[in-house]
Structure 1
Amino acid sequence: MTSYLTAVRRHVVLVLVGVLLGTTFGAVASAASVPLYSSTTTLFVSVGSRGEASSLELAQGSTAAQNKVVTFVDVIRTPGVLGPVIDRLDLDTTPTELAGRVSAENTFGTVLIDVSVDDHDAQTAADIADEIGVVLAEVVTETLERPSDGSQSLVLITPVEPAEVAVVPSTPGPLVVVGVAALAGLVLGLLAAVVRSGLDTRLHDDADVARVTDAPLLGAIDFDPAFSAAPLAVATHPQGPAAEAFRTLRTNLWFLESAPAAGCLVVTSSLTGEGKTTTTANLALALAENGSSVVVVDGDLRRPRLAEVLGVEGGAGLTDVLIGRADLDDVLQPRGDRPLSVLASGAIPPNPSELLGSEAMRSLLDQLASRFDHVLIDAPPLLPVTDSVLLSRLARGALLVTASGRVTSSQLESATRSVETAGGTVLGVVLTMTPRTSRSTYDYASDPAGEAPATRARPARLPRRGRLVPARARRRATASGPRRRA
């Protein structure tokens, strides 16, 4: 049941479109249709006797009438009856067409025939029904049941309830037609939503991520169009929900228990355009605002953007250090008044993979890990190139940024497998561009007026791997002074 509700929630537009189309179709059909009126007459069939009849003859006559009624019901819709009706009423139709609007039935065990006629004119429907009774009586008494000696027929057909002129159409009213059509559209919309959800292999929420990888979901960042113009939410809107979402990510990173290999984290993604650079920059700011020393490295030597996002010079940086053209301190740039430093990418080299997997890169990461509490590397996406796979082997682990609704389960699975196959570790997943669905607990802090902000911070799913640091251990660490975090 939950999966169906999720499918409807994700594809609610399909459901609404189905209802809208059904309602529109019903309204058009109702407006285009001409109402039908129905009138019914009831005929009594009897079989008489010559002279005075005994009780036995009366019983036999009743039985004979019941047997004949079945035949007369079929006779009513024949041209022999309907032809004369058309001629007498001067109807512009044919016996075949009129037969489609005439119905006759007999209740079992009785000698009554109910003749019903449908027509767009109520008076015409009643006239046809009554005339059918008259013509049927004539056909039966004068032709079908007329004795061979020419005497009067013993079969009598008598109208016992003349047809009444209908006041209300027999066809459904406009509201009923529109309602039924809207309901049909709703059903079709729900079916379309369920089918599309079953065919959709993209990742949308933490449940989808959990079905693909055992790596914990460390954070969820809602979609915000403002990121394209102002990506540094932690700096520009420090009290906003987006900034709180990155602080949640920071907190969950601290809760992870891990044995650092080179004291750094690789931030990467499966594909381009998933928000890894924005996540790296804001995470660095969130870590630095807590007093920890942070260095962020632009390890994307193919399409570097980190320097542009953080507003620093990107002409010299990582590549210059790796080839020995510059010392680390010469290209390391402080950013703002917090303990945050930026190592830009420098010139784009012809051999990014060789540089990122070199011993010089390993030595550089060791040096940075010894000088800073946190080392973050903005790395290229995993599936197009192998750069991030090489970096993950030199680092403590990788954070895999995954955009909601853009990456498929197979793509995330391939990205995770590539890191693990190379000997790296996926420490967790950061879900970005998630749809805004409800108000956040941070609304109180970020919006005193009570209006919902444009972006919502969502609590992350607690890591399945990794242990929460006990409060006693945290107090001991605080008492002994700041600690270098690898």
Structure 2
Amino acid sequence: MRRTSAKGGDDPVDLLYYTRLARRNWLLIFFSLILAVAASLVVTSNTPPKYVATITLLVSGHDREGSLSTAYQAGMLSQQRVQSYAELLTSRRVIEKIAEDSDIQRLQGNITAESIPSTVLIRATVADTDPARATRLANALGVEFSNLIDEIERPTPNSRPTVKVTMVDRADLPTSPVSPRPLVNLGLALMIALFVVTGSILLRDRLDTTVKSEEVLQQASNTSILGTIGYERDARRLPLIIRNRGRSSRAEAFRSLRTNLQFVGVDQHPKSLVLTSCLPGEGKSSTAANLAITLAQAGWRVILVDGDLRRPSIPRYLGIEGATGLTDVLIERARLQDTIQTWGEANLSVLPSGQIPPNPSELLGSRGMRTVLAQLTEDYDMVIIDAPPLLPITDAATLAAICDGTLLIARYGKTRREHIARATEMLSSINARVVGAVLNFAPTRNSQYYGYGYESDAEVTEVKETTPAGV
């Protein structure tokens, strides 16, 4: 059974979820790996080569009597000394005797010694940038350490030592450096880069509360999703769906929205619809204009009202004059019939906002606005009102309270879930009816109409007529 995560996709434990997340951030991952490769090359090229020379020392006890018991005691004494001798090998007293002109502290850091488990052997290594010097220092270390043990393990100056150290394996000249190791550096850099970039992507994904799916929008708004409007590259420059004779995926999305809107409230179909969003820049005005055009193309008697009395944008979208409009009607400076304009071949009626007033909220909540709305719902099949954003100001809530329904517009990757929830609570507190939500600017794979290459007979005929002979 497939579960749905808070992001609206598959459960985060599902590999498919992480695959989609990685696909969305492939560019970041790619540049992180390139940076890791470059960093490993820089580190490798700037790291001087280091050679290691190794010697092996044997710790043995002196058997004075040659009996079995004394031999056993000598062996036990050797095993007891091994670990201590391994520590003594790197002591300052030993290093000073072989340091020559080298820095004692640096040389001490380049010498390591360890006891081989279950034996009386000690392995010592000396690292240096010069292989010959590393070999010379390692052999000198074995000789000097043997002399030191011979000196300190004598009970009296004239007696024989109880323990002796013999260098059984002298250091050979190393032929290849132990560092830097390019492949190890490269692998480590790639692992660190993948760890950092993966952690960053997952953290950003967890902290990202923007709406990126219909499921998330439905959950946040607690209402049905009436449509998803895909993103088109030319939508900002040409926001209306009438270009290309309305044959685009975006135009088809608005026709699907129109169809879904017809099934909203079969017994109580809304005749006045407020389109609003949480914050500016989420595409409510272009959605209102295109939805009105789509309804008018289907034969509906539609009027588009620019209810944004602060930043009106409908005249700019439709290319009409907006100096006289709703504001003039509400202050009784003009009659309603004189301010309504007809736009396009579908005979879409448009009521601009008019002059920007100093008190938009008071005008939209006035008795005159209710009278205008009642007259419009009587004359038209659908009244679509482009309202300001809901959260910054109260204009949209004022209009939603007196209209039959409200359509909430959310922008993919920008509108946050908490904003949707807050807007829904605000509309619920004034008993406004939210008929549904629309996800705007959603990414789409194919911007062509339907995406299956269907053509109408008229299109085929037109292509044949305009194609030159011989082509």
TM-score, normalised with respect to structure 2: 0.84
Question: Residues 292 and 97 (structure 1 numbering): CA distance in 2 closer, same or farther, change over 3 Å?
Answer: same
Task: Please say if 1:71 is aligned against 2:84.
Answer: yes
* Counterpart for residue 129 of structure 2: 120
Correspondence for 1:396 among 394, 401, 404: 404
- State the Cα deviation string for residues 310-359 of structure 1 (Å, max 9, x = none): 12222222233334444433332221221422122223333332332233
Task: Please say if 1:56 is aligned against 2:69.
Answer: yes
Q: Could you say what the CA RMSD is over the residues aligned between the two structures, in angstroms?
A: 2.9
Q: In structure 2, give the amino acid aligned to 1:303.
A: R
Asked whether the 8 Å contact 1:292–1:339 carries over to 2, the reply is no
Correspondence for 2:54 among 40, 49, 53: 40
Take 2:343 and 2:289, find their aligned partners in 1: how far apart are those partners? 11
* Counterpart for residue 92 of structure 1: 102
SS of 1:2's equivalent in the other structure is coil
Structure ranking higher on relative contact order (CA contacts 8 Å, 6+ apart): 1
Take 2:23 and 2:284, find their aligned partners in 1: how far apart are those partners? 27
* Counterpart for residue 338 of structure 2: 330
Question: Residues 238 and 262 (structure 1 numbering): CA distance in 2 closer, same or farther, change over 3 Å?
Answer: closer
Q: Measure how far apart 1:428 and its partner are.
A: 1.4
Task: Please say if 1:183 is aligned against 2:197.
Answer: no
Take 2:452 and 2:320, find their aligned partners in 1: how far apart are those partners? 31
* Counterpart for residue 41 of structure 2: 27
Q: Measure how far apart 1:115 and its partner are.
A: 0.9
Question: Residues 8 and 29 (structure 1 numbering): CA distance in 2 closer, same or farther, change over 3 Å?
Answer: same
SS of 1:297's equivalent in the other structure is strand
User: 1:34-433 to 2 correspondence within 5 Å?
Assistant: 34-50=48-64, 53-87=66-100, 91-94=101-104, 96-141=105-150, 143-146=151-154, 148=156, 150-153=158-161, 155-171=163-179, 173-236=181-244, 238-257=246-265, 260=268, 263-433=271-441
Take 1:334 and 1:7, find their aligned partners in 2: how far apart are those partners? 47
* Counterpart for residue 12 of structure 2: 2
Question: Residues 274 and 447 (structure 1 numbering): CA distance in 2 closer, same or farther, change over 3 Å?
Answer: farther
Q: In structure 2, give the amino acid aligned to 1:79.
A: R
Take 1:155 and 1:146, find their aligned partners in 2: how far apart are those partners? 8
Q: Measure how far apart 1:277 and its partner are.
A: 0.9
The runs of 5 or more residues in structure 1 that have no matched partner are: 449-486
Take 1:414 and 1:407, find their aligned partners in 2: how far apart are those partners? 12
Q: In structure 2, give the amino acid aligned to 1:198.
A: R
- State the Cα deviation string for residues 366-419 of structure 1 (Å, max 9, x = none): 332233332211111112222221211222211111223333333322222222
Take 1:324 and 1:45, find their aligned partners in 2: how far apart are those partners? 112
Take 2:217 and 2:389, find their aligned partners in 1: how far apart are those partners? 18
Q: Measure how far apart 1:150 and its partner are.
A: 1.9
Question: Residues 80 and 316 (structure 1 numbering): CA distance in 2 closer, same or farther, change over 3 Å?
Answer: closer
Correspondence for 1:444 among 445, 451, 458: 451
Take 1:262 and 1:69, find their aligned partners in 2: how far apart are those partners? 93
SS of 2:99's equivalent in the other structure is helix
TM-score, normalised with respect to structure 1: 0.81
Q: Measure how far apart 1:441 and its partner are.
A: 8.5
Q: Measure how far apart 1:154 and its partner are.
A: 5.5
Take 1:13 and 1:259, find their aligned partners in 2: how far apart are those partners? 51
Q: Measure how far apart 1:276 and its partner are.
A: 0.9
Q: In structure 2, give the amino acid aligned to 1:2.
A: P
The runs of 5 or more residues in structure 2 that have no matched partner are: 1-10, 456-471
Question: Residues 354 and 26 (structure 1 numbering): CA distance in 2 closer, same or farther, change over 3 Å?
Answer: same
Take 1:162 and 1:320, find their aligned partners in 2: how far apart are those partners? 104
Instruction: Report the count of equivalent residues.
Output: 441
